[in-house]
């Protein structure tokens, strides 16, 4: 039987840092470092430079993952890139990255599932590898989400940042990824969305629509749905693999805010020292947040070979999903 295992991780954060104290000067008088920390756990976020694109961030993370895996771009025969903020309408950012890395001929494509994008992308790549059609995949989550933010709207601007993370997956005879689980429900569209778009246009009129270029979110409602669906996906994953909560060594959640992360950890009865939390250092980087956190925990030695790791994410759509693997 063909399995899929993780053999390398990498990540990248832009040099520019925007702290909570910086935001105090940009947003209204009631927004403070304390207010942001108490509600989100976030201390700072990284912002791409004006001339820095999603592909630039993705390239840094991809090269780091390839180095960690001891592989060259020529060794990769599939590239899947998750992003909500592509460089261009077309071609895909995956194709742009493929060219940067010097890869040729093998499939490369983008996946758009917002904050669940990386989980979706891993699940897709895993299916390619398990089918036997491909041996090795580069999976990237990269975002310049700051380009979708109104920096005077404190309901969103305190939450998001830019970054990229990547992993290399490889066919194996030993179990790696045990299962992946993906869901979506488009009925929740308007709770978290950017109203404008290529087909719909950006000249939109209607109730409760401000600037259609930027992210709009009804935070309390998003929080409630996120906590419920993430609890369900955790249970679904455990049942599918006939595991108990205690069998999971590490939870690497989507880094949205600490309140959602804490709620998910409680569902697993996991102590905080078994949950990888990096949201305080880079805020919500959408599709990049899980591979960023995973890379940090692998490189600092927390996550070790042979341990069971659960990735879970929730994002606009709504989309949500999980990946359970033995590292």
CA distance 186 to 95: 28
CA distance 289 to 312: 11
CA distance 135 to 75: 9
pLDDT, residue 203, reads 83
Catalogue the active-site residues: 115, 254, 284
pLDDT tier for residue 204 given thresholds of 50, 70 and 90: confident
Q: Is the pLDDT of residue 205 over 50?
A: yes
Burial letters 139-156, b for 16+ CB under 10 A, else e: bbbbbbbbbbbeeebbeb
Whether the Cβ atoms of residue 36 and residue 157 lie closer than 8 Å to each other: no
Question: Using alpha carbons only, what angle is made at residue 96 by residues 91 and 102, rounded to the nearest 5 degrees?
Answer: 140
Residue 19 pairs in a beta bridge with 44
Question: Using alpha carbons only, what angle is made at residue 310 by residues 263 and 319, rounded to the nearest 5 degrees?
Answer: 70
Q: Could you give all domains of the chain from N- to C-terminal order, each with its CATH number? A: 3-174 (3.40.47.10), 179-326 (3.40.47.10)
Sole residue written with tokens 């093998």: 106
pLDDT, residue 209, reads 53
pLDDT, tens digit, 9 for 90 and up, residues 256-267: 999 999 999 998
Q: Is the pLDDT of residue 67 over 60?
A: yes
Per the structure block, which two tokens stand in for 193?
């969305």
Residues 6+ apart with CB under 8 A from 102: 73, 74
Q: How far is CA 58 from the centre of its chain?
A: 12
pLDDT, tens digit, 9 for 90 and up, residues 89-99: 999 999 999 99
Question: Using alpha carbons only, what angle is made at residue 184 by residues 183 and 186, rounded to the nearest 5 degrees?
Answer: 170
CA distance 40 to 108: 35
pLDDT, tens digit, 9 for 90 and up, residues 122-164: 999 999 999 999 999 999 999 999 999 999 998 999 999 999 9
Q: Is the pLDDT of residue 254 over 90?
A: yes
Sole residue written with tokens 């109104």: 150
Residue 321 pairs in a beta bridge with 182, 313
């Amino acid at each position: 039987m063909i399995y899929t295992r993780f053999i390398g991780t990498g990540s990248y954060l832009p040099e520019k840092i925007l702290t909570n104290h910086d935001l105090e000067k940009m947003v209204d008088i009631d927004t403070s470092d304390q207010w942001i920390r108490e509600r989100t756990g976030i201390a700072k976020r990284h912002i791409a430079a004006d001339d820095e694109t999603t592909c630039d961030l993705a390239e840094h993370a991809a090269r780091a993952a390839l180095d960690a895996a001891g592989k060259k771009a020529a060794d990769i025969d599939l590239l899947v890139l998750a992003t909500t903020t592509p460089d261009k309408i077309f071609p895909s950012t995956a194709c742009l990255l493929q060219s940067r890395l010097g890869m040729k001929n093998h499939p490369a494509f983008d996946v758009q599932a917002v904050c669940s994008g990386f989980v979706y992308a891993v699940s897709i790549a895993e299916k390619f590898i398990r089918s036997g059609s491909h041996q090795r995949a580069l999976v990237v989550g990269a975002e310049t989400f700051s380009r979708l933010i109104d920096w005077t709207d404190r309901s969103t601007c305190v939450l998001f940042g830019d970054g990229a993370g990547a992993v290399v997956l490889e066919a194996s005879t030993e179990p790696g990824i045990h299962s992946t689980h993906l869901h979506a429900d488009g009925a929740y569209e308007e709770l978290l969305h950017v109203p404008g778009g290529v087909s719909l246009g950006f000249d939109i009129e209607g109730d409760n629509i401000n600037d259609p270029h930027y992210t709009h979110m009804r935070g309390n409602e998003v929080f409630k749905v996120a906590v419920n669906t993430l609890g369900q996906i955790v249970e679904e994953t455990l049942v599918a693999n006939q595991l108990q909560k205690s069998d999971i060594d590490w939870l690497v959640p989507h880094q949205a805010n600490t309140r959602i992360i804490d709620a998910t950890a409680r569902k697993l009865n996991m102590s905080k020292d078994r949950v990888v939390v990096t949201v305080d250092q880079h805020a919500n980087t959408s599709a990049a947040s899980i591979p960023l956190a995973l890379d940090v925990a692998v490189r600092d030695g927390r996550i070790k070979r042979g341990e069971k790791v659960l990735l879970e994410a929730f994002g606009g759509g709504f989309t949500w999903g999980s990946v359970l693997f033995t590292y």
